[in-house]
Amino acid sequence: MTDRIQLGTMEQPQFSPAAMALVQKIIKRYPEGRHKSALLPILHIAQAEFGGWLSPSTMDYVASILNIKPIEVYEVASFYTMYNMRPVGKCVLEVCRTGPCALRGSDDIIEYLENKLGIKEGETTADGMFTLKAVECLASCGSAPMMQVGNHYIENLSVEKMDEVLDQLKTRHNVPNPDYGSPYPVSPENNG
C-alpha cells in the first residue's frame, strides 16, 4: 500500500509567516498540553500550502511544530482520506460514488471522466493537470451526482455538462500555485 518514499531528496518545507500565524492561532484553541488536537487542522493547511499532498518531509515538519513523533503524524494522515499521501494533479476531481449518487448516475460520470482524461480512478493525467478520485458520500445526496474540487461542490452533474465543467476547472487550476482548498484558508489578515 504505502510503497516507500525516500527522504532526503525533498527540501524541508517552511510555512509562510501568514500560514504560521494561523497555525499558532489554531494550536491555542486547545487546552495546554493538548496541542496534538491541532494535528488534523494543521495537516489541512500544510497540504494546501505544500502542493496538495503530504510528503514525508511535510509531515515531519508538522511533527516538529507540534513536538510529536513523526510516526504519530503518519498514522493519522494515512487514516483520513482527505490527506493525499501521493503527489496529485493541479486539480483533484473527487467524484462521489456512494448509494444516492450511484442511483442518479455517478458511475456514468466516473466512466466518462476516465475515458475523457485517459486515466483510471486514482490516477493523475500525464500532464499533471487532473487527478481523479472516487470518494464516498459527501453529504450532497439531494444534488446527486456531484463531485468536490477543492473548496467547491459541483452538483447536479450530467455527462453532457462534464466537458464544460472540465474546461472551467482547467482555466481556474492551470496556474503555478493552484488552490487545493482548505478548511482553514490562509489569508494575509492571519498575519499577527
Partner 1 sequence: MAKVTIDGIEIEVADGTTILQAARQIGGEIVPPAMCYYSTLKNSGGKCRACLVKVAAGSAKDPRPMPKLVPSCITTVQDGMVVENITNPTVLETRKGVVEFLLLNHPLDCPICDQAGECDLQNFAYNHGVSKTRYEEERRTFEQHDIGDKIKLHMNRCILCYRCTYVADQLTDNRVHGVLNRGDHAEISTYIEKAIDNEFSGNMIDVCPVGALTDKTFRFKQRVWFTKPLDAHRDCPKCSGKVVLWTKGNDVLRVTARKDQYNEVKEFICNECRYDHKDMNDWVIEGPRHIERGSVISQNHYEKIDLVKLKADVERQLKFQEGKRLNEANNTPA
Partner 2 sequence: MGRKLLLKDINVPGIKSFEVYRKMGGYASVEKALKTMTPDSVMEEVKKSGLRGRGGAGFPTGMKWSFLDRKSDKPRYLICNADESEPGTFKDRFLMEYLPHALIEGMIVSSFALGANTSYIYMRGEFRWIFPILEKAIEEARAAGFLGNNMLGTDYSLELYVHSGGGAYICGEETAQIESLEGKRGNPRNKPPFPAVVGLYGCPTVVNNVESIATVPHILNMGGDEYAKIGIGKSTGTKLISASGHINKPGVYEIELGLPVEEFIYSDEYCGGIWKGRKMKACVPGGSSVPILPTELMLKTAKGEPRLMSYESLSDGGFATGSMLGSGGFIVFDETACIVRNTWTYARFYHHESCGQCSPCREGTGWMEKVLHRIETGHGKMSDIDLLVDVAKKIEGNTICPLGDAAAWPVAAAVRHFREEFEYHVRYPEKVKDPKHFEKEPFVSEKKAVAA
Which span (7-15, 32-40, 112-120, 167-175) binds partner 2, by CB under 8 A? Answer: 32-40
91 alpha-carbon distance from chain centroid: 9
Q: Could you give the string, one character per residue 56-75, with x where binding to partner 1 holds by CB under 8 A and - elsewhere?
A: x------------xxxx-xx
Measured from the CB atom, the residue of 4 and 171 that comes closer to partner 1 is: 4
| Number of other CB atoms surrounding residue 28 within 10 Å | 10
Q: Which of residues 139, 160, 171, 177 is near partner 2 by CB under 8 A? A: 139
Q: Counting contacts by CB under 8 A, is residue 75 touching partner 2? A: yes
Grid cell digits, residue 53? 499532498
DSSP 143: G
Measured CA distances, 28 to 8, 21, 85, 103, 116 (Å): 32, 11, 27, 44, 46
Measured from the CB atom, the residue of 4 and 12 that comes closer to partner 1 is: 4
Q: Which of residues 14, 24, 81, 158 is near partner 2 by CB under 8 A? A: 81
Measured from the CB atom, the residue of 28 and 34 that comes closer to partner 1 is: 34
Chosen from partner 1, partner 2, none, partner binding at 2 (C-beta under 5 to 8 Å by type): partner 1
Name the residue among 73, 83, 76 with its Cα closest to residue 53: 83
Residues 127/120, Cβ–Cβ less than 8 Å = no
Q: Shortest gap between Cβ of 18 and partner 1 (angstroms)? A: 29
Q: Counting contacts by CB under 8 A, is residue 1 touching partner 1? A: yes
174 alpha-carbon distance from chain centroid: 16
Q: Counting contacts by CB under 8 A, is residue 39 touching partner 2? A: yes
Grid cell digits, residue 187? 489569508
Q: Could you give the string, one character per residue 36-55, with x where binding to partner 1 holds by CB under 8 A and - elsewhere?
A: --------------------
**Strand ranges in 26-118 using DSSP code E only, listed in sequence order:** 91-96
Q: Shortest gap between Cβ of 29 and partner 2 (angstroms)? A: 4
Q: Shortest gap between Cβ of 13 and partner 1 (angstroms)? A: 16
Q: Counting contacts by CB under 8 A, is residue 192 touching partner 2? A: no
- Residues binding partner 1: number (CB under 8 A): 16
Grid cell digits, residue 127? 500532464
**Computed from CA positions of residues 147, 84, 14, 32, in that sequence, does the dihedral angle turn out positive or negative?**
positive
Grid cell digits, residue 57? 518531509
